[in-house]
A and B are shown apart, each in its own frame.
Chain A
Amino acid sequence: MKQKQDDYFLRIINLRKSFGDLHVLRGINLNVRHRERVIIIGPSGGGKSTLLRCAMGLETIDEGEILVENEPYIICDRKRRQSAISKKIQLQVGMVFQSFNLFPHLTVMQNLMLSPIKVRKMPKREAFEKSRSLLKKIGLEDKINEYPARLSGGQKQRVAIVRALVMDPKIMLFDEVTSALDPELIKEVLDVMKQLALEGMTMLVVTHEMSFAKDVGERVILIDEGRIVEEGEPEIFFSKPREERTRQFLSHFLET
């Protein structure tokens, strides 16, 4: 059955992005439904991270547009040769990075409270209580006053996820969030993400964790050389890929 356009939460239309002569995204079209979990896989340098960075507004776009609930979120103003972003819609988007990017000069609690207080103008008390209850949920309530340097990689990444969640995003972008972690710390981060998925968060996840993709993903997408090579439901995508490129890419994971 064909989806009605109105049902989509996020629509990326013909997105193009170059760095100089390097065409990183060559016309990406991607629709994400409310509460959908879309997993993006693909080789390094294929454009996965750039796609997420564009969707967060960290990179300008050269062509195309991104809509959220059919409202223009990021559009390309060709005349002025730059892209324009709706700050109001950007508030609905949260992002977690590979290298955590916690603010090292602030405690865990200060990391969490900064944006709610300064951007959302939330009263301090409310921001504190909200942050604390989220930290409690992931078992890090006792780290409230620690500086990031005192946390393990897994703990840092969980704090980073919570820091994005305090802002009440409607969609979360995860950019290889477990790639910088020691293997034994990966599970604790993936568990938080699974919990988030169960709670109905719309998620766009770039990852190399294929079992996570199978468990949590509702749709898997392979991006290579700036294009979507193949997309489909996880069971079919992993067992019967249509494209030769997909088979080739997935074979690396079966061997290991």
Chain B
Amino acid sequence: MGFTFSFDAIWNNLGPLFSGLLTTLQITGISMLLGLILGVFVAIFRLSRNFFVSKLTAVYVEIFRCTPVLVQLVWIFYCLPIVLGVELGNYASSIIALTLYVGAIYGEAFRSGIQGIEQDQIDAGIALNLSAAQRMRYIVLPQAVRIVIPVLLSNTVSLFKESSLVSTVGMSDLMYLGRIISASTYRPIEILTTVAVIYFIVAFPVTILTRKIEVMVAKKLER
């Protein structure tokens, strides 16, 4: 059985795939921003001296780290409306699910960054009479963020790929449109390969950037 690769199938559908990419980037971008904010709080709560705050945060982190994102998405899309009695819609559910997922992942990255700051730095802050919140804000977090930028970027690349799961709740992202077009054109190999190439073209430069930033940060934070 012969197979001829049809470039036409790709050219004719680049437009819709591109609009799918925009949706994917939008969902990834919003979840990333919300996740970063959530992540900072997750790290601070996780390191809290208050036993309950710390443990409760740990439970949240572990649940979202150790279960499939697909299931989290389904919980939030189907189950949360039942529990809360509010209809969320697939867009809001997607953003909430991905934010909660990546917030847990970012939170652990921030935590390792915060814990990586030497006690000497904190001592210097105390000796300069900075309050605990000021030390966190001006000494610990800025250095911790620099240390964890490479980790955050690589987490974000994962988020970008995981976001393809929102197609299961009917979001017309890159993956969803790819699947629809594959089915309607009977050209899954061409279309899905193109989808993969598009994911790669976006993600690969970020991983290169990650390595560059890693080197830059190491130089900058040398004492």
Contact = CB atoms under 8 A, between A and B. Distances in A.
Interface in B123-145: 123-124, 126-131, 134, 138-139, 142-143
A105 B128 contact: no
A101 B121 contact: yes
Contact of A114 (B128, B131, B220, B222): B128
Given A114-B138, A149-B220, A103 B129 contact: no
Contacts of A93: 127
A51 to B, nearest CB: 15
Interface residues of A, number: 29
Nearest to A160: B124
A109 to B, nearest CB: 14
A87 B129 contact: yes
B138 A94 contact: no
Interface in B95-139: 120-121, 123-124, 126-131, 134, 138-139
B146 interface: yes
A99 B127 contact: no
B interface, over-half SS: helix
A53 B124 CA distance: 11
A74 B223 CA distance: 32
B221 interface: yes
B139 to A, nearest CB: 6
Interface string A96-116: 010111111100000000110
A99 B130 contact: no
Interface string A101-135: 11111000000001100110000000000000000
Q: How large is the interface on B (under 10, 10 to 19, 20 to 34, 35 or more residues)?
A: 20 to 34
B219 interface: yes
A153 B123 CA distance: 19
B129 A114 contact: no
Contacts of B219: 149
A163 B127 CA distance: 10
A104 B223 contact: yes
Nearest to B145: A105
Contacts of B220: 104-105, 147, 149
Contacts of A115: 128-130
Contacts of B120: 97, 99, 101
B129 A119 contact: yes
A91 interface: yes
A148 interface: yes
A118 B130 contact: yes
A97 B127 CA distance: 10
Given A104-B143, A105-B220, A149-B220, A164 B128 contact: yes
Contacts of B138: 114, 118
Nearest to B144: A105
A115 B126 CA distance: 10
Contacts of A148: 223
A97 B129 contact: no
Contacts of B130: 114-115, 118-119
Contacts of A100: 223
A104 B124 CA distance: 12
Given A56-B126, A101-B123, 6 more contacts: A57-B126, A90-B129, A102-B223, A103-B139, A103-B143, A156-B223
